[in-house]
Amino acid sequence: MECSISMRITGIRLAKAGFAVYGIDYRGHGKSAGLQGYIPNFDELVNDCAKYYTSVCELPQNKNKMRFLLGESMGGAVVLLLHRKKPSFWHGAVLVAPMCKIAEEIKPHPVVIKTLTKLSSFIPKWKIVPGKDITECAFKSPEWREEIRQNPLCYKGKPRLQTAKELLMVSLDIEKNLNHVSLPFLVVHGGGDTVTDPSVSRALYETAMSEDKTFKLYPGMWHALTSAEPQQNLHLVFADILSWLDERSTTPSDNQSARPSRYVKNDAHYA
């Protein structure tokens, strides 16, 4: 994905609510340089984000403001790794269907994974990883699916070998280290998500050492919670996100640790 078009709904809603919003296209994504859809090293991608967002926070107009991260899907993994690099720097995070674990429904057979992992050393850029069409699996709205397919800034081919290997290794690493997460966070996930595993978002909530943590599961919603759901679903998700941010957008000196943890399963049925 990329941040200027496919993330516009999130950016506009947050900006209208009074937040300063900054986004970045990862290398190999959107308008950034690099072979499209190619991630040779995930840690370098995270370092790019760390440098950029730290520089944003150091701008004169932002120095005394609270700092929140928001990441969707792979961006959720990036957020958790940014927090790992600077555990006390960020005041909170919103994780939307985070890539803490790739859903079994879209992972190749273990034998295939083992074979492709070996091949990635020789043909890292090849697009031969089998799997379901992510666009078809992630976006409930047919109109949004078509917009993604028509957006030249979005990579829509099969995963490149090295990219797939990096995503798998990162998701395994994050899943093993969920208990090290300590910042305040809200994690939202669709119960019908077949791209990233909602059970691992629940595990993040249950095992993270954070004292201020909230998990919201939306039965029937898919992966793209903030863009490709019916309008009533989008309103609900953004209301929850903005309410969580508003409650914490006071001053860094406030006692954040006094907030309780919350697990909320919305019982309503969604289209």
- Other residues' Cβ atoms within 10 Å of the Cβ of residue 44: 12
Asked whether residue 58 is domain-assigned, the answer is: yes
Asked whether residue 263 is domain-assigned, the answer is: no
Nearest one of 204, 216, 199, 221 to 263, comparing CA atoms: 216
- Give the span between the Cα atoms of 186 and 72, in whole angstroms: 12
- Indicate which residues carry an active-site annotation: 73, 193, 223
**172-226 tens-digit pLDDT:** 999 999 999 999 999 999 999 999 999 999 999 999 999 999 999 999 999 999 9
State the pTM of this model.
0.91
CATH number at residue 87: 3.40.50.1820
Asked whether residue 186 is domain-assigned, the answer is: yes
Asked whether residue 109 is domain-assigned, the answer is: no
3-state secondary structure 81-100: HHHHHCCCCCCEEEEECCCC
Q: Which domain, by its residues, includes 74?
A: 8-100+134-155+170-251
- Give the span between the Cα atoms of 95 and 183, in whole angstroms: 12
- Give the span between the Cα atoms of 2 and 30, in whole angstroms: 5
Per the structure block, which two tokens stand in for 225?
């919670």
**38-83 tens-digit pLDDT:** 999 999 999 999 999 999 999 999 999 999 999 999 999 999 999 9
